[in-house]
Amino acid sequence: MNQVVIEECRVDDGDGGPYAVTAGPDGALWFTLVHGGRIGRLVPGDDMTSHQLNDPGCAPTIICTGPDDALWFTEYKGNRIGRITVGGAVQEFALPTAGSGPFGIAPGPDGALWFTESAADRIGRITPEGQVTEFALPAGGAAFPSAITAGDDGAMWFTLNQGHAIGRIGPDGSVTLHPLPTKDAAPVGITRGGDGALWFVEIGAGQIGRITVDGRITEFPLPDRGARPHAITTDSHGVPWFTEWGSNRVGRITADGAVTAYDLPTPGSEPHGIALGPDNALWVALENGALARVAEKGGSA
């Protein structure tokens, strides 16, 4: 691998708290400002703009591009799912279950958005028109479903942060849970890898995990077990990259478990979300008020 270059771009005064980032259909980066109740937009090389939500305390958390070419996001404290067009028009959809704590969200293969209700132990589904369906999990309570992503098998896969398991939900709402081998692993981020498996991070155990669609789990300990990996995505080659919230680094892992980590330029920047940008570089949301661009020198990561 070539030399990796990391550059930071300030997008906030430090009070907004960039939390998650995604590539929009308009060639821009879109990100949540969890403490400021705003949605930000950045075209690499240009000035940042942001859109203030009606409820400044709603805590917009995870954001993704939907099948309708709008951006969809969770409002963790607002108990809503939000939608913003590339022109900045916002819609918000209240959830049926009070205090459900929506967190992760991702497009599904069925043309809907699927999301987690971390405080209610449910998985939700919302159509582009705003129709919501909820599915209760058989986890026994306080499992804290967190991130969610689509698998290659037509199902959605999600992490159970306090249930220490990986879950699968089919389009009909049927749920299968896969307990993790490591006690108190506390998985958070999850992504579909270029190898067709699901890759996830274990913030409590300092490990990266891999699960095949038939449920076979492999865990790879990080060199720094106290790194507290938080979010994970894949680059343009299908290689998983992840954030190390506890150690102020980003890392990559090969299919055989070899890990390389890179220090972020600013100490204590609190890296959270990570996504492949429209420029084929990796972009990281830093809660201290910046987005970091991670790329190979002379190319993408």
The model's pLDDT over 206-231, given as tens digits with 9 standing for 90+, comes to: 999 999 999 999 999 999 999 999 99
pLDDT digits (tens, 9 = 90+) for 228-250: 999 999 999 999 999 999 999 99
In the chain, the amino acid numbered 142 is A
Calculate the CA dihedral of residues 29, 232, 284, 221 and round it to 10 degrees.
-170
For the stretch 79-89, what's the b/e string if a residue is b when 16 or more beta carbons lie within 10 angstroms of its beta carbon? Answer: bbbbbbebeee
- C-alpha angle 285-288-294 in degrees, rounded to nearest 5: 35
Q: Does the pLDDT at position 1 exceed 60?
A: no
Kindly state the average pLDDT of the residues 17-29. 97
Distances (CA, A) of 186 to 42, 189, 190, 196, 244: 32, 10, 12, 23, 14
The residues carrying an active-site annotation are: 272
pTM, entire model: 0.96
pLDDT band at 139; cut points 50, 70, 90: low
The answer to whether the beta carbons of residues 109 and 103 sit under 8 Å apart is no
- Predicted confidence at residue 300, as pLDDT, reads 62
Delineate the domains of the chain, giving CATH numbers in brackets: 4-296 (2.130.10.10)
pLDDT band at 66; cut points 50, 70, 90: very high
Q: Would you list which residues are annotated within the binding site? A: 230, 270, 287
